[in-house]
Chain A
């Protein structure tokens, strides 16, 4: 990374990072196995939120199809886990769907590392192909968003329809071991938790690096004025394509971790509602700030698992209203609110990082 002066603020920031990392690493000492498992799931969601923030907060592309990329990563890992559980024989759901032989495309998923590679590569490739066509044809803004919804419907309908190959609505569940270790044992779960923390931190640093680089500056230029960026001589399509691919790959990583923690993936996790919920986390935490996005994901999911049981009806009311309030009155989310309050005291500065595109 670039060399920068160590101003007092910067030192405080570093201390803040260190404290957060320390808190995450020491969490297993304080919380029960069940809670740790939940926390690990939230951290996986935080990873998707980071990827989503990269394209929405920093590039201004709203994808309502990130559930697909998350899900594809998850399915890759689930296929490996299922094959390990069945010892390489066709898994149970193929049996009750009338399939006797393991299909060819399932075969290589017996290898853990192949599955991991595919968990990142398949979502990334799909995003690359989709991005290549749509961005090159200058489909953007609202149109892109609606297209991603169509893609969600295509993917879920296919996954559900091809029950013999994908497990249908049930999805894929019933795993026993990962690389030979029992997936349910507290020790394995603890190790998986640490892996998730490391992945989150690594991806966080990677995203910081991306937005700090020249590439990241161009992304923000595209967000604030796509045509202006084009006239200066950048080709926005290439930048959008690349960042969309990166974001999809990150979602794939999150999906793989999700399956390891939760033990099931089903098409319902790829649907329109989860995809929009992911956007909600970023919106509430604060788009355009990585910390905000990650925190939004963790807090929203924590709140959901705490309150949705006690007030299953009230929870949906609350979530809907929260969505409205945040989008209308706090376009930069909670993270934006904090800095806003502080800044207002000093001076009312123009909104130079504006999310809104003045021309549309």
Chain B
């Protein structure tokens, strides 16, 4: 018995030594490349440009449940970096991406963000998909004064000085789509969402808007993430007889919902549904046969007709295969890289504060059309588009806002939104 304990100890000692040695070794490596900047975490980013190259971080989920969506965004961001490098880089230097895996786990996102900023000394980070991952990273970026580019539409009510939001906020996707539905499809709304932050907050906004614009709420339901049986819910919807189902379901649940909706004998002709999380990529997993005719609201479709988009889609397919499709978040990730590069060129430096200053009111011809960074909120001006799923799995644009809409994350421009302003 005692002998055994002795050996346990040998194991313990050896292991502790290995761990410490591992940590130490890694530490030396970074210390030697970055010299003096090691101590001063707050100006860490000035160390990002070593001779001839600039390091940037890419932090998405490569494993776990969210990998489904996020892997394509990584592809788009890598493609943008390659294109910029091929054209001579930024400030004459090559961009070197440092990939980290967020593993669909929010604490991991926070940990890896900290690593990218304080260990790898990256100039900026492109990353995140879920609201939860962004909320987890936000304090880290604010504490270490890093820079994050977040590429997905989200629920708004946020504006961090260290984050640029290249996806839509509520007034660039949800609010205009609700108005459009009220005008064109009917007054009675049924709100269906997955049980997490984005749907709940989005529905809070929609409910206020319905009250103000003469709509009627006939039902509101949330299902757990990964819920797969919608038969009961569909009977509830049938009973409520809505004109429109506003769908904020996420991921796999969409597959189950639309398949079972069709089985229940309800097609897009009988009932309008508008989804905000179903893009070209998701259509492939759900099946065109069940989705045909249903609506979605985004800022970009693969079919969006701009010259920039033609080359973007062409290059994307050339690089990753003909069967791949582009979608809104993919385009937003691609745009983010170009916007950052343009801001760096303008600032003549990769320092966070200078880049932020230079990014104000910056314009760029994105695949979705001309976009402009709003200096006050660090969101971008985007065109709103409502599309209908076609038999080939692509969207046909039914309506667009004509011009890029100014971002308004706190919905200050809407009187009815007064009650949902944050308390702080």
Instruction: Give 9 CB contacts A-B under 8 Å.
Output: A16-B12, A20-B13, A100-B423, A160-B196, A161-B222, A184-B144, A264-B107, A291-B8, A295-B15
Contact A32 B11 (CB under 8 A): no
List B residues 177-229 near A (Cβ within 8 Å).
Answer: 195-197, 200-201, 204, 222, 224-225
- A298 interfacial contact with B, CB 8 Å: yes
Contact A308 B131 (CB under 8 A): no
Interchain CA distance A339-B4 in the complex, whole Å: 5
Interchain CA distance A303-B289 in the complex, whole Å: 45
Interchain CA distance A78-B165 in the complex, whole Å: 27
Interchain CA distance A246-B195 in the complex, whole Å: 33
Q: CB-CB < 8 A to B110: which residues of A?
A: 173, 262-264
Q: Which 10 A-B pairs have the closest CB atoms?
A: A16-B9, A312-B62, A169-B196, A312-B101, A339-B4, A184-B143, A35-B23, A31-B23, A95-B422, A170-B132
For A294, give the chain B residue with the smallest CB separation. Answer: B12
- A199 interfacial contact with B, CB 8 Å: no
- B19 interfacial contact with A, CB 8 Å: yes
- Residue-by-residue, is A279-297 near B (CB-CB < 8 Å gives 1, otherwise 0)? 0000000100101100100
Interchain CA distance A186-B144 in the complex, whole Å: 12
Q: Shortest distance in angstroms between A292's beta carbon and chain B's nearest beta carbon?
A: 6
- B38 interfacial contact with A, CB 8 Å: yes
Q: Which of A39, A289, A292, A339 makes the CB contact (< 8 A) with B19?
A: A39
Contact B424 A30 (CB under 8 A): no
List A residues 13-30 near B (Cβ within 8 Å).
Answer: 13, 16-17, 19-20, 23-24, 27, 30
- A97 interfacial contact with B, CB 8 Å: yes
Q: Which of B8, B99, B112, B224 makes the CB contact (< 8 A) with A292?
A: B8
Contact B423 A97 (CB under 8 A): no
Q: Shortest distance in angstroms between A284's beta carbon and chain B's nearest beta carbon?
A: 12
For B100, give the chain A residue with the smallest CB separation. Answer: A309
Residues of chain B touching chain A, judged by Cβ–Cβ distance below 8 Å, are 2-13, 15-20, 22-24, 26-27, 30-31, 38, 41, 62-63, 99-101, 103-107, 110-112, 114-115, 118-119, 130-132, 135-136, 138-140, 143-144, 155, 157, 195-197, 200-201, 204, 222, 224-225, 420-424
For A298, give the chain B residue with the smallest CB separation. Answer: B19
Contact A33 B423 (CB under 8 A): no
Contact A170 B11 (CB under 8 A): no
Contact A34 B13 (CB under 8 A): no
Q: CB-CB < 8 A to A309: which residues of B?
A: 99-101, 112
For B61, give the chain A residue with the smallest CB separation. Answer: A312
- A305 interfacial contact with B, CB 8 Å: yes
Contact A339 B107 (CB under 8 A): no
- A268 interfacial contact with B, CB 8 Å: yes
Residues of chain A touching chain B, judged by Cβ–Cβ distance below 8 Å, are 7, 9-10, 12-13, 16-17, 19-20, 23-24, 27, 30-35, 37-39, 41-42, 86, 89-90, 92-98, 100, 157, 160-161, 163, 168-171, 173-175, 184, 186, 262-266, 268-269, 286, 289, 291-292, 295, 298-299, 302, 305-306, 308-309, 312-313, 315-316, 334-335, 338-339, 342-343
Known contacts A19-B13, A157-B224; A169 and B138 CB within 8 A of each other: no
For B201, give the chain A residue with the smallest CB separation. Answer: A96
Contact B9 A35 (CB under 8 A): no
For B71, give the chain A residue with the smallest CB separation. Answer: A312
Q: CB-CB < 8 A to B3: which residues of A?
A: 9, 339, 342-343
Q: Shortest distance in angstroms between A97's beta carbon and chain B's nearest beta carbon?
A: 6
Q: Which of A12, A32, A168, A342 makes the CB contact (< 8 A) with B197?
A: A168
Q: CB-CB < 8 A to B200: which residues of A?
A: 97, 163, 168
Contact A262 B19 (CB under 8 A): no
Interchain CA distance A97-B118 in the complex, whole Å: 33
Q: Shortest distance in angstroms between A286's beta carbon and chain B's nearest beta carbon?
A: 8
Known contacts A19-B13, A97-B201, A309-B101; A175 and B139 CB within 8 A of each other: yes
Q: CB-CB < 8 A to B422: which residues of A?
A: 92, 95-96
For B15, give the chain A residue with the smallest CB separation. Answer: A295
For A302, give the chain B residue with the smallest CB separation. Answer: B19
Q: Shortest distance in angstroms between B21's beta carbon and chain A's nearest beta carbon?
A: 9
Q: Which of B16, B31, B111 makes the CB contact (< 8 A) with A38?
A: B111
Q: CB-CB < 8 A to A90: which residues of B?
A: 423
Q: Shortest distance in angstroms between B132's beta carbon and chain A's nearest beta carbon?
A: 4
Known contacts A96-B204, A264-B110; A31 and B197 CB within 8 A of each other: no
For B16, give the chain A residue with the smallest CB separation. Answer: A23
Contact B8 A289 (CB under 8 A): yes
Interchain CA distance A4-B126 in the complex, whole Å: 60
Contact B132 A305 (CB under 8 A): no
Interchain CA distance A134-B302 in the complex, whole Å: 56
Q: Which of B9, B18, B38 makes the CB contact (< 8 A) with A17?
A: B9
Contact B204 A262 (CB under 8 A): no
Contact A174 B135 (CB under 8 A): yes
Contact B10 A160 (CB under 8 A): no
Contact B13 A35 (CB under 8 A): no
Q: CB-CB < 8 A to A42: which residues of B?
A: 19
Q: CB-CB < 8 A to A16: which residues of B?
A: 6, 9-10, 12-13
Known contacts A32-B27, A266-B132, A295-B11; A312 and B63 CB within 8 A of each other: yes
Q: CB-CB < 8 A to A312: which residues of B?
A: 62-63, 101, 103
Contact B2 A39 (CB under 8 A): no
Q: Which of A23, A299, A343 makes the CB contact (< 8 A) with B20?
A: A23
In this complex, which of A31, A32, A316 has the most chain B Cβ atoms within 10 angstroms of its Cβ? Answer: A32
For B99, give the chain A residue with the smallest CB separation. Answer: A309
Q: Shortest distance in angstroms between B1's beta carbon and chain A's nearest beta carbon?
A: 9
Q: Shortest distance in angstroms between B361's beta carbon and chain A's nearest beta carbon?
A: 28
Q: CB-CB < 8 A to B12: which residues of A?
A: 16, 20, 291, 295
Q: CB-CB < 8 A to B421: which residues of A?
A: 95
Interchain CA distance A286-B106 in the complex, whole Å: 29
Q: Shortest distance in angstroms between B129's beta carbon and chain A's nearest beta carbon?
A: 13
Q: CB-CB < 8 A to A170: which residues of B?
A: 106, 131-132, 135-136, 196-197
Interchain CA distance A157-B226 in the complex, whole Å: 11
Q: Shortest distance in angstroms between B78's beta carbon and chain A's nearest beta carbon?
A: 15
